[in-house]
């Protein structure tokens, strides 16, 4: 086998790798629905001011993105988004919710809502850390 670095592989190459990993995982862990679900916050004019994307897989909800525009912060919007993620988890029969954040983002926000750190990568980016947190329901 020859290994080649490719910065822009064609769709067929990406699909072959993805399908191979999916087949391996399916045999060992069962099916997983990685389709995204969104919760969106709009202002009175309909402009997006907050939002969250989650995926449900292997009896856990993963919060891929959670964002609140500056003028709407500290008004409970982030908490309501997290409550939505937890509601999706309960409705889907999941064990809990997990996510990642950076030390320059909002780790204390998540910890105050019952999320506990289970992993950390220091100096990512330099001088900061990436943190993984979870909350069992």
CB burial class (10 A; 0-12, 13-18, 19+) of residue 118? exposed
Q: Rounded to whole angstroms, how far apart are CA atoms 68 and 106? A: 11
The answer to the question of residue 12 being in a domain is: no
For residue 89, the enclosing domain spans 32-136
Domain-located, residue 46: yes
Residue 7 maps to a domain: no
pLDDT > 90 in the chain, percent: 96
Q: What pLDDT, on a 0 to 100 scale, did the predictor assign at position 35?
A: 87
Quote the pLDDT of residue 33: 85
pLDDT digits (tens, 9 = 90+) for 93-123: 999 999 999 999 999 999 999 999 999 999 9
In a domain, 11, yes or no: no
Is 73 domain-assigned? yes
Distance, CA of 49 to CA of 67 (rounded, Å): 8
pLDDT tens digit sequence for 15-73? 999 999 999 999 999 998 888 999 999 999 999 999 999 999 999 999 999 999 999 99
Asked whether residue 3 is domain-assigned, the answer is no
In a domain, 22, yes or no: no
Distance (Å, rounded) from C-alpha 25 to C-alpha 110? 30
**CATH code of the domain covering residue 71:** 3.40.630.30
Domains held by the chain: number: 1
Q: Looking at the domain assignment, is residue 43 inside a domain?
A: yes
């Amino acid at each position: 086998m020859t290994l080649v670095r490719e910065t822009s592989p064609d769709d067929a190459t990406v699909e072959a790798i993805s399908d191979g990993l999916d087949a391996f995982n399916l045999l060992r862990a069962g099916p997983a629905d990685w389709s995204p679900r969104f919760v969106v916050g709009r202002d009175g004019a309909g402009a997006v001011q907050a939002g969250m994307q989650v995926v449900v897989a292997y009896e856990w909800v993963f919060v891929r993105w959670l964002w609140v525009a500056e003028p709407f912060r500290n008004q409970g919007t982030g908490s309501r988004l997290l409550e939505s993620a937890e509601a999706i988890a309960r409705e889907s029969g999941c064990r809990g919710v997990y996510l990642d954040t950076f030390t320059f983002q909002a780790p204390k926000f998540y910890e105050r809502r019952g999320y506990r750190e289970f992993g950390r990568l220091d100096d990512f980016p330099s001088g900061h850390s990436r943190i993984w947190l979870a909350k069992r329901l």
